[in-house]
Amino acid sequence: MDNPIGWARRALVLGSTGMLMSLCIELVNQGITVAAIARTPEGLDRLQLKSQGLEGRVVPMALDYHNLNRLSHWIAHFQLIEGPLDVVVAWIHPPAVPVLETIVAEVHAYRNMPWQLVHVVGSQNALNPFSWRPSPPAKYQQVTLGFKIESGVSRWLTDQEIVNGVYGAIVGGQEFSVVGTLTPWEKRP
């Protein structure tokens, strides 16, 4: 991956040490300061180790994103020290709306320019679309994780396929995208 998102300086990633870990590494590789949230410090340590020597850096935040007071405090603290967030990538276990509302409120306290909220949702979104949207200047983008069909056999996405799809949405800015496919629905693994 080259550097097509040079305009972004600061990103927040929720779900940073699971399937999105290599997305964090790529953002750091592009000189971005990545605020990385996960509950387990060991996972965040691994992410920091992997990002050593790259252009940007990881700011680890070991917390449960459902603890909205802590989440809000940490985002405020990060922005006070580092500056306003440009991109937020959110892979959140339900309930997602209170978490997203908290993030949006904190980002809007620090910036009035457009920013990207890239929301990653599972394939069930095809049946029950997530309808919450933030107020401007947040730009909401939804990335739905689908599945792949190869030689007639279906499988779930690999982490790298997911990361490539999410990265593509950050760069492309499209409101909706699907990684893999959601059709035919009855062929999902």
**Contact footprint for ligand NAP (CB under 6 A):** 15-19, 37-40, 43, 64-66, 91, 93, 122-123, 145-147, 156-157, 159, 162
Nearer to ligand NAP, 29 or 154 (CB): 154
Q: How far is the CB of 112 from ligand NAP (least distance, A)?
A: 28
Nearer to ligand NAP, 5 or 47 (CB): 47
Q: How far is the CB of 121 from ligand NAP (least distance, A)?
A: 9
HEC-encoded secondary structure of the chain: CCCCCCCCCEEEEECCCCCCHHHHHHHHHCCCEEEEEECCHHHHHHHHHHCCCCCCEEEEEECCCCCHHHHHHHHHHHHHHHCCCCEEEEECCCCCHHHHHHHHHHHHCCCCCCEEEEEEECHHHHCCCCCCCCCCCEEEEEEEECEEEECCEEEECCHHHHHHHHHHHHHHCCCEEEECECCCHHHCC
Q: How far is the CB of 2 from ligand NAP (least distance, A)?
A: 25
Q: How far is the CB of 137 from ligand NAP (least distance, A)?
A: 26
Nearer to ligand NAP, 2 or 186 (CB): 186
Nearer to ligand NAP, 63 or 111 (CB): 63
Indicate the residue whose CB is closest to ligand NAP.
Answer: 18
Nearer to ligand NAP, 135 or 151 (CB): 151
